[in-house]
Structure 1
Amino acid sequence: MPKRRGNTHLKALSLEQVIEAFLFSLRAENYAPKTLKYYRSNLARFLRFAKIKGLAGDVHLLDRWAIRDFLSGLKDGLWSGPYNRRPPSAITVHHYFRTLRAFFNWCVREGVLEESPLEGIVVKSPPPKVVEPYSNEDIRRLLAVCEMDIRQGAHLLGARNRAMVLVLLDTGLRLKEIASLRLEDVDLERGLVKVQGKGGKERIVRLGATARSALLAYLLHRGKREHPYIWVSEEGRPLAPEGVAQAVRRLKERAGVKGPGRVHRFRHTFALEFLRRARDPFLLQILLGHSTLEMTRRYTAALGLEDALKAHEMASPADRLLGRGQKG
């Protein structure tokens, strides 16, 4: 059982009290609202577990066996409330583990506990999914639908979607980043875009001549609006992140582009194309707004796999032995 720090005669702190103090601390440290929501949601499920087990009244009752019980139950779809009994994925279970680790480490730093009940508990990170970019043919088909809309008189829709595709392809922006772009953020003359990234971190990305031209053409159709947001619906209202995602989803459906992913898949495409040309993961890290190289390494690994598969076309032992795949 985790040891109580300081005066052992102090009133016990309930898990709910400590969770609220933890979230208050994160707000004071200016964590992003999405991050706060993520922690609150995960800890709410942990609190539900603790109440079921009779451990919620005192945070010191939560030992490593309780943590193991919680994580094991997660894999069976427990502690989720009456409306969601579907077992979470291995990635989701690992996210809960990381949430608990951050929470209990905070408890130790703040003097609530002498040690974390997660000491000695290891949950292996699930292997990362294979990065799947859009192919050149996918991009051509998306743009062909945009051109068709323009020819048929849907100038705003076609120009907007064409600009959106090319801006995403040229910058690798996240969904929230592209949806929140304002007119004042874009310098078309120099092709520079100021981006508000995760955690309120600003960075500058660049647009090439093709994307810049497409964005300018769209802005002419967009015209003057009462709001500063770049992306608008056909009714002139600003597109929220969900609206941008829906626009890309519909465009994919109309173009017959298969495969997973919508907006974020453009980020994968940009990253791999950049590495093919520049071969510099440190520069890519800056452009993508990654705080560490950990995420960027996914793209270097994916590029290595791609190179290996291409090399196999020339070195296939079976093809070389039986002569298949060779001319003549």
Structure 2
Amino acid sequence: MEELDERWRTALHRFDDHLRLDLRRSEHTRTAYRSDLVSLATHLSEAGVNGPGGVTLRDLRGWLAAQHAGGAAPATLQRRSGAVRVFFRWAHAQGVVDRDPAASLKSPKVGRRLPPELTQADLQQVYAAASARAAEDEGPGGRRDVALLELLYATGIRVSELCGLDVDDLDHERGTVRVLGKGNRERVVPLGRPARAALDAWVQVRHQWVTSDSGPALFLGARGGRIDPRVVRRVVHASLEAVPEAPDLGPHGLRHAMATHLLEGGADLRSVQEMLGHSSLATTQIYTHVTSDRLRAAFRQAHPRA
């Protein structure tokens, strides 16, 4: 960013402050915005556009076309065009630019396709293998890993939300966990019996890793600090790799499986939306498309008159 013109640098720094202070976006989200906008500013600076005020709709379309020619996927282009629209809407409202050049910018359509699926049978094998490893582990690590695996599938929470949990967020009496999601929105999600049992088993040995750096964190790393998202992802990937039949979808695969299995079991869409922490019902509706596609695929494969 430091190589950019001062006008670009100032605008991008102010926008980052807006994301952090006003919208309370996570570091991960801010990094994504920053990367996309620096890419735009670099591209336009090379074309002689040395500040946001001189950007036109044609410039933005040219940048997206260059990204497409460079092999960017439609989903990536959609995210980048969204970042640009948010930035210029803010810039126009703040007087950084006289007009919003991105107001008419269209996002490329992303086709919906049936993603790989973690079946209930896959998950039973995953948890059986994790429990077997925990039984052989003399330290608390195995119990922690089983607990976080169970919690991710039971609640559908994001990795960042899991890492932010404190011990007091668990309500053992009600069988729920309090989660702080995107935009600092709080929600309460129910826990099933297996998840509650796994969490109880972990909490009983958590003290073995507690240090002065632990604070109230529910899940700890081996050195006693709050668990890092990268550790959670490694645990999930390793657990899925232990079951050859299970697709390695990572933590989001457990979130996806939770939502899909709930809907297939008859849960209503609003309840699933609340549990996942989606601000818009439209985001949750993708899971209805997935389950409908799966039903159609099963019909075509099995019905004699399909």
TM-score, scaled relative to structure 2: 0.88
Matches within 5 A, 1:227-238: 227=214, 228-234=216-222, 236-238=224-226
Q: Where in structure 1 are there 5+ consecutive unaligned residues?
A: 1-12, 78-86, 319-328
Higher mean alpha-carbon deviation, 18-27 vs 68-77, is at 18-27
Cα distance change, pair 121–176 in 1 and its aligned pair in 2 (3 A): closer
Instruction: Give the Cα separation in 2 of the matches to 1:219 and 1:22.
Output: 41
**2:53 paired residue number:** 60
How far has the Cα of 1:235 moved from its partner?
5.1
Given that 1:141 and 1:257 are in contact with CA atoms closer than 8 Å, whether structure 2 keeps it comes out as no
Amino acid at match of 2:237: R
**CA 1:233–1:114 in structure 2 vs 1: closer, same or farther (change >3 Å)?**
closer
Tell me by how many angstroms 1:280 deviates. Answer: 0.9
Shift in alpha-carbon separation, 1:256–1:17, aligned structure 2, 3 A: same
1:60 shift after superposition: 3.2
Question: How far apart are residue 35 of structure 1 and its match?
Answer: 2.5
Distance 1:208 1:90, change over 3 A: same
* Residues 1:154 and 1:249: Cα distance change in structure 2 (over 3 Å): farther
Does residue 286 of structure 1 match 2:274?
yes
Give the aligned partner of residue 192 of structure 1.
176
Contact 2:262 2:272 in 1 (8 A): yes
| C-alpha displacement of 1:177 | 0.9
CA distance in 2: counterparts of 1:273 and 1:258, whole angstroms: 16
Establish whether residue 34 from structure 1 lines up as the match of residue 35 from structure 2.
Answer: no
Q: How has the CA–CA distance of structure 1 residues 181 and 120 changed in structure 2, closer, same or farther, with 3 Å as cutoff?
A: closer
Which moves more between the two structures, 258-267 or 128-137? 128-137
- What residue ranges of structure 2 are gaps of 5+ in the alignment? 1-5
Residue 205 of structure 1 aligns to a residue in which SS? strand
CA positional deviation for 1:132: 3.3
Q: Which residue number corresponds to residue 264 of structure 2?
A: 276
Secondary structure of the equivalent of 1:189? Answer: coil
Alpha-carbon distance, 1:67 to partner: 1.3
Which runs of structure 2 are paired with 1:66-81 in the superposition (5 Å)?
Answer: 66-77=59-70
Q: Residue 18 of structure 1 aligns with which residue?
A: 11
Measure the CA separation in 2 of the matches of 1:43 and 1:25.
14
Contact kept in structure 2, 1:149 and 1:155, CA below 8 Å: no
One-letter amino acid of the structure 2 residue matched with residue 241 of structure 1: P
Aligned-pair CA distance for 1:313: 4.7
Number of positions where the alignment pairs a residue of Structure 1 with one of Structure 2 = 297
Alignment of 1:309 with 2:303, yes or no, is no
Q: Does the Cα contact within 8 Å between 2:141 and 2:222 map onto a contact in 1?
A: yes
Give me the whole-angstrom Cα distance separating, in 2, the residues matched to 1:47 and 1:308. 45
Cα distance in 2 for residues equivalent to 1:153 and 1:19:
49
Cα root mean square deviation, aligned = 2.3
SS of 2:116's partner is coil
In 1, distance between residues paired with 2:244 and 2:224? 27
State the Cα deviation string for residues 46-94 of structure 1 (Å, max 9, x = none). 11112111111x43322122112211111233xxxxxxxxx32221111
Whether the aligned pair in 2 keeps the contact of 1:131 and 1:268 (CA below 8 Å) is: no
Q: 232-241 or 172-181, which moves further after superposition?
A: 232-241
Name the residue aligned to 1:208: 192
Structure 1 residues 15 and 155: CA distance shift in structure 2, 3 A: closer
Q: How does 1:103-122 map to 2 (within 5 A)?
A: 103-122=87-106
SS state at 1:278 partner: coil
Which one-letter code corresponds to 2:44 in the other structure?
Answer: A
Question: Which structure 2 residues correspond to residues 160-175 of structure 1 after superposition, within 5 A?
Answer: 160-175=144-159
> 248-257 or 162-171, which moves further after superposition?
248-257
SS of equivalent to 2:242:
helix
Cα distance in 2 for residues equivalent to 1:155 and 1:144: 18
Give CA-to-partner distance per residue, 1:130-174, whole Å, 9 cap, x none.
343311221122122223224434452332222222211210011
TM-superposed CA distance for 1:314, in Å, is 4.7
Instruction: Answer yes or no: is the 8 Å Cα contact 1:185–1:195 preserved in 2.
Output: yes
Q: Which moved more, 1:171-180 or 1:252-261?
A: 252-261
Q: Secondary structure at 1:65's aligned position in 2?
A: helix
The percent identity for this pair of structures is 25
Counterpart residue number, 1:95: 79
Q: Deviations over 1:267-305 (max 9, x none)?
A: 111101211233311111111100001210011111111
Q: TM-score, normalised by structure 1?
A: 0.82
Q: Which 4+ stretches in 1 moved above 4 angstroms?
A: 234-237
SS of the aligned residue for 1:117 comes to coil
